[in-house]
Copies of this chain bind each other. A is one copy, B any other.
């Protein structure tokens, strides 16, 4: 472990010595108002990240073989996992299974910050094809939720 023993939380969603990074490279995939921080490069073999979505923002709609183990650290929002929408509040736990479409959205009036554990070695996310997006949007509840 290369991290110092203690890194203080300096403000909501900020820590001493932890850089606030782009969520993804611009133009790589659609998203809005999301930051990424790596809290531990190696947390018991996993990479431990913190993502924060500003009010009204959203992550990319995507899927991949690796799983996500998520805990909401602050704020409120919703997520699509598979074919359902879930309401999210502080400290709620979310599992995203392999190859399952998912997207996180912050509340319109406040940020959503969440911890997300992943394998250090993992596959690249897949974006939906036009056909897959049409399938998802065939459900009016999902159609109303999805941002792309």
Number of this chain's copies in the complex: 2
Flag if B95 contacts A9 (CB, 8 Å): no
Question: A89-101 vs B: 1/0 string, CB under 8 Å?
Answer: 1111111111000
Interface: A65 (CB within 8 A) = no
Chain A contact residues: helix, strand, loop or mixed: strand
Interface size grouping (class) on chain A: 35 or more
Partner of A44, one of B15, B39, B67: B67
Interface segment, one of A20-28, A51-59, A117-125, A133-141: A117-125
Alpha-carbon distance between A72 and B7 when the two chains are bound, in angstroms: 11
Q: Give residues of chain A (5-46) contacting chain B, Cβ–Cβ below 8 Å.
A: 5-9, 15, 18, 39-40, 42-46
Which of A8, A18, A96 has the most CB atoms of chain B within a 10 A radius of its CB? A8
- B86 to A5, Cβ gap below 8 A? yes
Q: A42-B67, A44-B120, A115-B115 are in contact. List 11 more A-B contacts (CB 8 A).
A: A1-B97, A3-B93, A5-B95, A6-B95, A18-B93, A39-B93, A40-B93, A45-B46, A46-B46, A46-B117, A48-B117
Contacts from A to B (Cβ < 8 Å) = 1, 3-9, 15, 18, 39-40, 42-48, 66-67, 69, 71-73, 81-82, 84, 86, 88-98, 115, 117-120, 122
